[in-house]
Structure 1
């Protein structure tokens, strides 16, 4: 029997009223919110956003609660956009979606900033004594963060990836106690590392993993794994690998699991983080059960049930409805006794 844990990859949509408030405070048009360096009224507004996002998850009774990443206007690029040695250029497309982030140019040494740790500490305060068992940290994985950035300092792809990994590890070392860490690695499947780089990408993930005692999930989405990068990712010392079973080629992901195995835990992206159609809880439970049925040779200690992608793209009302369906679907799957 597998433990079923409901969670999300973070990066929530801003509540509509907060979006309007922050746009006015920053003097920008709606949707053009600049990350980092906030103080005074802007910092207080983000505090209110965080409290609301945490309350939403508690109301849905999720098993893991993220900070929500309300300040991450540049999405997965955020940990670098707020760094003093990173310059932000023009607007570039965020993968193949109709969302954009500011181009990152790393022009100096990447030292830990403590920015994400401060967010998590604030979320931990909201959770109180339960934070150690409920809090889930979220970061871009090192391969994805390096892929989203341009190196104008290190001068070598391998050295740059290693530097990004060390930077993320330094961030993680400052985190408060957390139950899980989701490393979001969409680039691992959308722009899979080539020969040689795939091994280095796995080693970079290990660098980040070594900085935490929490359970670590490498979550991928939008596309399915290529076999060789997946094989190298299996060498990484992570607790679970996440698979998109909504948008990606399900058969290719299943082939990787059945032919190459996977970790003792697994993360399943079974709720659509981009489509406004709200799944029924029974549908969520059925999807979890279906995946388990397709991998009869695997025994999972824990199954993380999640959105496939960040819900950043969803209207707030649909996101809240999906949170409830996800949590209830995971509970149904647990009650029905999903067999690994």
Structure 2
């Protein structure tokens, strides 16, 4: 029987109290923010919010705890948006939804900022429970504009090296989720082998279990084959958006020894019951009888910042309760 581990892909909604308070502080510190200085008051507010979401994950009983990425106003583009070699310009649509981010334009050589490491350092949990969250290199390159490297392949390699450098600065952690929606929304096609190598670069920098987590659909067969060549511990499957196609990929081409399954909807306020979550794990295992998964990461299918706080918290509870009960069938 697979070991079911309850976790999330991070990017949480701000606690209700923090929305107005942070907006007010950002308005009063606009000039400091432009220069990259958040100021003590803003930092303290984020610290308080981070502690609150970490405590809420522990209260729910999640097996892995994320930092929450509450500072990531630019969503997955955040690691570039805070880099000195990047200019943030106009507002652009974040994938195909009603969220927007500042376009990160790379104008110089990318190097590590230590921003993500500092966030993880501030999380007060044991390393065996800690989970890091980053975009995969292909998705981050897809969200950005290159005005420095001048070549798509060179730019992807530079982004991968940058993310690897960020990972090496992080504290010890058990798991690293690389969020990879662009692998679904903009399949890499002939660049698949290079994408696999870029993922290898980031995964190789992590002393942790590395989960590559595509979502908003299923990978093309070619993309699926290429990412399986990457040195990852688990590949993710969005069972909310495209369950049948994701199951087909595993049935036809196999998968990693461990898998991550998107079992609750990160964009819909309907809260799934723990029974529903368990049934989705069972459905996937029954449909892949030739696979023997060591670990199933039970998670939301997308980032969670889309949800109202009460619905987000209810989904944490459902994931944790389902994982504690475990699936009732063996693969």
TM-score range, shorter chain: over 0.9
Unaligned runs of 5+ in 1: none
C-alpha displacement of 1:117: 0.3
Counterpart of 1:135?
130
- Using the alignment, how far apart are the partners of 2:325 and 2:303 within structure 1? 23
State the partner residue of 1:297: 290
> Given the alignment of the two structures, is residue 339 of structure 1 paired with residue 323 of structure 2, yes or no?
no
Residues 83-114 of structure 1 show CA distances to partners (whole Å, capped at 9, x for unaligned) of 00100111111001110100110000000000
Q: Which residue of 2 aligns with 1:315?
A: 308
Q: Following TM superposition, by how much is the alpha carbon of 1:332 offset from its aligned partner in structure 2, in angstroms?
A: 2.0
Greater displacement, 36-45 / 97-106: 36-45
2:184 touches 2:214 (CA, 8 Å); kept in 1? Answer: yes
2:239 corresponds to: 245
- Mapping of residues 252-263 of structure 1, within 5 Å: 252-263=245-256
State how far apart, in whole Å, the 1-side matches of 2:59 and 2:94 are.
31
Does the residue aligned with 2:71 lie in a helix, a strand or coil? coil
Partner of residue 72, structure 1: 72
Correspondence 1:230 to 2:241: no
State how far apart, in whole Å, the 1-side matches of 2:37 and 2:178 are. Answer: 24
- 1:46 corresponds to which residue? 46
2:153 aligned with 1:158, yes or no? Answer: yes
For the aligned residue pairs, the C-alpha RMSD in angstroms reads: 1.3
**Equivalent residue pairs, number:** 327
Deviations 1:202-237 (A, max 9, x none): 000000011112000000110111001110100001
Match of 2:321 in 1: 328
TM-score normalised by structure 1 residue count:
0.94
Alpha-carbon shift at residue 143 of structure 1 (Å):
0.3
**Deviation string, structure 1 residues 157-189 (Cα, Å, up to 9, x no partner):** 000000000000000001001000000000001
- Decide which moves more: 251-260 or 205-214: 251-260
Q: Which residue of 2 aligns with 1:169?
A: 164
Q: Please, which runs of 5 or more residues in structure 2 have no aligned partner?
A: none
For residues 10-56 of structure 1, what are the alpha-carbon distances to aligned partners after superposition, in whole Å with 9 as ceiling and x for unaligned? 0000011101100111117xxxx989531210000000011001001
Contact conserved, 1:34 with 1:73, CA < 8 A, in 2?
no
Equivalent of residue 197 in structure 2, options 203, 215, 224: 203
Is the 2:87–2:104 contact (alpha carbons within 8 Å) kept by the matching residues of 1? yes
Partner of 1:118: 118
Aligned-residue offset at 1:333: 2.2
Instruction: Note if 1:91 corresponds to 2:91.
Output: yes
Q: Normalised by the size of structure 2, how large is the TM-score?
A: 0.97
Instruction: Please name the residue that 1:272 is paired with.
Output: 265
Structure-2 separation of matches of 1:321 and 1:36: 35
* Distance (whole Å) between structure 2 residues aligned to residue 53 and residue 270 of structure 1: 21
SS at match of 1:4: strand
Deviation, 1:329, is: 1.2
CA distance 1:24–1:103, change in 2 (3 Å): same
1:320 and 1:34 map into 2 onto residues whose CA distance is 33
Whole-Å Cα distance in 1 between the matches of residues 203 and 212 of structure 2?
Answer: 10
Q: Report if the CA contact (8 A) 2:3-2:326 is conserved.
A: no
